[in-house]
Every structure is written in C-alpha cells, then in structure tokens.
Structure 1
C-alpha cells in the first residue's frame, strides 16, 4: 500500500557534485497533487563504532570539525567507500582512527542524522575485545584519543561536551547493550 504522505519525484537536477557530497534539486508531486521543490544532499553513508575496552570504558576521539569551527568529542566513525561492506568500513575506521582492532563485532542498527536535507545513513556497531595495534590516520587527519565510562559520556551529553548526533544516538544504544 502506498504511503499517503509519499512525494513522487518528477524530475531531478544535480546542482553540485563534490568528492564527498552531491546536492540535488528535485520537483515532486505532493500528497495533495500539487507540485513542490526539494533540495537535498546525497551522502555515501557512514559507520559509527562504540569501542568498549576490557574495563568497560569507551574509546572516544576529539577532532576539529571545520563546518562548525571547533573540536568535537565523538565516537570513531567514517564514510563508507564505494562498494565497501559496512563491517569492513567499521573495522577500517576503528583501526585507522584509534589504533584498536577486534574480531568481536555486533551490528546494532542504523540512524539517519539529517533527514530534512540529506539521505545520509549511519550504521552503528559495537566492538569489544579490543587490542591496540596503532593508528593509521589519513593524511591531514588529526585526532586526540581518550576514554570515558558510559556514565561519564552520558554526563558529557547533558553538560554539552558531547553534541554530535551520531555519538549521542550510539551512546543510547551503548547504554542498552552494556547495562
């Protein structure tokens, strides 16, 4: 059965195509039959990893995010490469950014961080049994690695030190999975 709120794409136009993002402008038929416009960003998708150390602490990173002009406290995450399996991406990002590897992975779910203007989806993974082998940062990537307990991370959300949506969503999952 067709969703009564569905908007049918009538035409699409690429407005901008960059290395990471593509911006489109579409004409759509609205639920009442009238015509409307939609502008949105196509994103290749990403993963976020909840890395859990043997003592229960979580591994975080702090990095500067240029669009908002400041450093953010986040869980490790990264963009899915073309044709890359989501677990392979999670493994790659965890090792590149934090220096940890593991064979103990659990897929938790998916989130959509920017539904008003982007098709981005972020796959959420839990990683346990971590072994430190050393990071492999990308050129131009600068990070600080730190650990927080789940309780400390929760407090950081409520006092404003963690405002990143993917991290907040993943922490919600972490609380459920680790309690």
Structure 2
C-alpha cells in the first residue's frame, strides 16, 4: 500500500478571497492566506484564462513570427503566433484556431511541447506550447482590432534574435527552447 503524499511545507492555504477587478480578459483577486509559519498574509494576483503559443515550421524549415504592438510596453514585439484559450476550449483546438486566424496557416502535424507559466509571482496564467509542421497557407482571419505583420526566420536567425535581444517575449523564448531538440533533429 502506498503512502499518502506529504503536504508541501511551503504551501499557503486560502482563507478568504475577494474580487478587486473583473475585466474582459483579466480578473484581479486579493486573498488572505495561511502562511507556513502559522501567520496570515495577503496575496494579490491576476486570474487569466490561459493561452497557447505555436512554433510553426514552414516546409523550407523557416519559422513563422509576428511583429505585433503590445500596448503595456508601448512598442512592437517579435513573437510566435499565440492567443487566449476560450472558455471550455480544447488547447489543441485553440492552437489550430490561432494559427489560422493570426498567421493564415493550417498544419498537418501537431506536437505538444509542454506548458510554461510566464508570471508566477502575480498571475495564474499558463501558456500551452505546440510545434506545428506540414503547413499550408489558407489565409488569415484576424480578430477585430488585431494588427500584426508576419515574417519568417530561420532557426539560426531566431536564436540570434533571442541572444541579441531582438526577441524578448517570454513565451516565444520558452517555446523555441522546448522545440529546439525537435527542430535540430
């Protein structure tokens, strides 16, 4: 008979929770928690529905990137196709939808790369990472108010862009890192 798992000595248990802000995308909460030393503390954090990000590989081996303006930092960023998971949506279905909407491609082969948590100190957001191959261009269908430029980079160019500071987006860096062994064969 197996032993019951031991509780994590660092766990903080929720005692009370209250909404601070309830927006279209983000919801901010303030929780009172029981700390490991027996005292109480307050934790404020953002609830996020989750997202997907796709390393999309063209038949010639080049990778699809987007240049998109990100308002919070007031500048455009180079990143891979990605988007928010709709309520109840399967993560692969979301990846298929986002690759079509943003980049205009359908993929014949999908491989799950894993999950990353981009802002563990203040958000529960998770980003599910995928590799897409066997791409066919079918035309994009951007969401209203969504503007981006598509471009392609070789794997070497993408790596150089990360190391040179041209790509600083966390999900893009994490997805490329997770995909590297598969992309290098």
Per-residue CA deviations over 1:23-60 (Å, capped at 9, x if unaligned) read: 00000010010111100000000000000011111000
Determine the structure 2 residue equivalent to 1:111. Answer: 116
Per-residue CA deviations over 1:115-140 (Å, capped at 9, x if unaligned) read: 00000000000000000010000111
Query: What number of residue pairs does the alignment pair up?
Result: 179
1:39-78 equivalent positions in 2, closer than 5 A: 39-78=44-83
What do you get for the CA RMSD once the two structures are aligned? 0.6
Dislocated runs of 4+, deviation >4 Å? none
Determine the structure 1 residue equivalent to 2:16. Answer: 11
Deviation at 1:109, TM superposition (A): 0.3
- TM-score in terms of structure 1 length: 0.99
Structure 2 residues not aligned, in runs of 5+ = 1-5
Give 1:80's match in structure 2, choosing from 82, 85, 93: 85
Structure 1 residues not aligned, in runs of 5+ = none
- Aligned to 2:32, the other structure's residue is in SS state strand
Deviation at 1:103, TM superposition (A): 2.5
Deviation at 1:102, TM superposition (A): 1.4
| Cα distance in 1 between the residues matched to 2:166 and 2:94 | 27
Determine the structure 1 residue equivalent to 2:183. Answer: 178
- Aligned to 2:95, the other structure's residue is in SS state helix
